Amino acid sequence: MSYRLLCLDLSGMLIDWHPECLYRKLFGDERQMRWFLSHVCTTAWNEQQDAGRLFAEGTRLLVQRFPEWALMIQAYCKCWEEVLAGPIEPSIAFLHKLKKRGYPRLLVLANWSAETFPIVRQRFDFLDWFEGIVVSGEEGTRKPFPKFIGACW
């Protein structure tokens, strides 16, 4: 008996996710938005939520550092669903083909906040096709750290 197992990522592979989707609506200036996302609500800051920190705590710490940006920082969590641009259709079509061809063991390894993942789970029906989903925020660590990879096996 052969075992077929395929582990997939969500962000950038199956789900188009970008803070710019939200902040383009809030900023009138592209340059200012880019500065904000590279200096205030950075990828490194978001990764802390992906590793298990609560958004309330991350927001509190960031507002302490950048009080002049408090409303924009708070919008990240309050309007979070707007960062989801949608499914990446060619990848979803490929995933559907894999499922039809007998890849019964499809798994997701996702760097994602435990607080926001339920929104994703509810919004994207294709997540029901997976046998298992390991969410970094629920594990208290993220990829590529060994503790997260170990949680997957």
Q: Please give the backbone phi and psi of residue 86, each rounded to the nearest 5 degrees, phi first.
A: 135, -175
CA–CA separation, 95 and 107 (whole Å) = 11
Domain boundaries defined on the chain: 5-15+86-151, 18-83
Query: Per residue, what are the HEC states of 98-119?
Result: HHHCCCCEEEEEECCCCCCHHH
Question: 104 and 4 in contact (C-beta within 8 Å)?
Answer: yes
Q: What pTM does this model have?
A: 0.83
The region of weakest confidence among 27-31, 58-62, 101-105, 122-126 is 101-105
Return the C-alpha torsion angle 81, 47, 61, 41, nearest 10.
-60
The region of weakest confidence among 55-59, 68-72, 79-83, 94-98 is 94-98
Query: 5-15+86-151 domain in CATH 1.20.1640.10?
Result: no
